[in-house]
Amino acid sequence: MNLWKIAFFGLAGIVAAAIVYLFILLGHQDESAPIPKADDTIQAANYLTVRASKKDFEGIANTYIRKAINKEPLPVTMMVEDDIILLSELTVFSYTLPVIMHFDPVVREDGNLTLKQSKLEIGKLKIQPATVLKILKDSVDLPPWMIVRPKEEEVFIDLRAIPISGDLQVRAKEFNLDNDEIILEITIPK
């Protein structure tokens, strides 16, 4: 056999093995981060109910996301339309692909939000949503109040952990995007 043929097939085997290894690495599902337990202690406080539109909430969320990940090379932006959309980028072999993740918001009993992934767009690639969430979790240093859970295909937003001056805490009461009505409760300690 020709030496060039042996070298070609050897190189092709190495490339194929690297691609298989990459898919195994990306497909590996590790344990999802646990959701923080709600603090049930009742303290003396005053409560303020705030009604916000989708655009108001989008602006507030993007301000806190920008502050939390200001030095990250990958941008993460939130849009609020008929669902919640996280926009980012994925670089594969020097090609930058837009990543558009659609989520349905679910208000939890403790006042936090769970964003359940409903749709995913990465250029024309077909990649499992859990894999994209794992890449997002591993490649972007998200704020501690955004917990990406790839196995469950969700992002948990711990509203209590968002750093707001004056020890204020925020709880979601209602998240009705169809009627453009978002109701938040702000706790002001006495």
Cα separation of 7 and 100, whole Å?
A: 41
pTM across the whole model: 0.71
Cα dihedral angle (129, 131, 134, 139), rounded to 10 degrees? Answer: -110
Position 123 scores a pLDDT of 72
Full DSSP string of the chain: --HHHHHHHHHHHHHHHHHHHHHHHHH--PPPPPPPPP------EEEEEEEE-HHHHHHHHHHHHHHHTTT-SS--EEEESSSEEEEEEEEETTEEEEEEEEEEEEE-TTS-EEEEEEEEEETTB---HHHHHHHHHHHS---TTEEEETTTTEEEE-GGGS--GGG-EEEEEEEETTTTEEEEEEEEE-
Q: How far apart are CA 14 and CA 28, in angstroms?
A: 21
Q: Which residues pair with 96 in a beta bridge?
A: 91
| 55 pLDDT tier (thresholds 50, 70, 90) | very high
- With beta carbons less than 8 A apart as the criterion, state whether 140 and 88 touch: yes
Q: Is the pLDDT of residue 49 over 80?
A: yes
Closest C-alpha to 72, from 137, 122, 116: 137
Residues 118-141 have a mean pLDDT of: 76
Taking 60 as the threshold, does the pLDDT of residue 42 lie above it?
Answer: no
Higher pLDDT, 1 or 90: 90
Task: Report the Cα 133 to chain-centroid distance in Å.
Answer: 7
Query: Residue with structure tokens 């849009």?
Result: 79
Better-scored residue on pLDDT, 80 or 20 = 80
Is the pLDDT at 141 greater than 60? The verdict is yes
pLDDT at 167 over 70: yes
What average pLDDT does the chain have? 79
